[in-house]
Amino acid sequence: MRFDRVTIVNVRLPKRADINTELQWFGGALGLFGDRDKDSSCFRIFVALVRASRHETGLSSDDIARQTLLTRGTVVHHLNKLQDAGLVTHNNLRYQLIGNSLQTALKNVQQEINDAFTILDAVAKDIDDKLH
């Protein structure tokens, strides 16, 4: 599995739907941008990766730091969080969205969640069988 932890937050889709609002909602629904992200660091990194995905190119942590005006340490911290969520991959010192699009990345996360639930279901059945 690619993800360590997936969070889904049931948030209402905003009525005003410009691209930044939609991206903020999307990341918020996945629990990526919390109250601790006061300066929108994770959001800015996420947007940089989404933009780069249109060109099917990855970005180094230094590239992202320059684009977002964040420190490399902050960038790496949030990149790790995005990797833990299963949305970002790291190859050859470059980071990119899984599948080079939000929709593909989300479908990959969904498949991994389904796989995790299949395993959980089998273990639950085994436990139930042992208890009866």
pLDDT of amino acid 77:
92
Q: Is the pLDDT of residue 96 over 60?
A: yes
Domains, the chain: 19-131 (1.10.10.10)
pLDDT of amino acid 119:
95
Q: Is the pLDDT of residue 4 over 80?
A: no
Q: Is the pLDDT of residue 70 over 90?
A: yes
pLDDT tens column, 71-84: 999 999 999 989 88
pLDDT of amino acid 34:
72
Q: What is the DSSP string of 49-116?
A: HHHHHTTT--B-HHHHHHHHT--HHHHHHHHHHHHHTTSEEEETTEEEEGGGSHHHHHHHHHHHHHHH
Q: Is the pLDDT of residue 1 over 60?
A: no
User: Cα separation of 5 and 30, whole Å?
Assistant: 10
In this prediction the pTM is 0.80
Average of per-residue pLDDT across 58-63:
94
pLDDT of amino acid 2:
62
| Alpha-carbon torsion, ordered 21, 27, 30, 36, to 10 deg | -110
Pair of tokens at residue 24: 């903020």
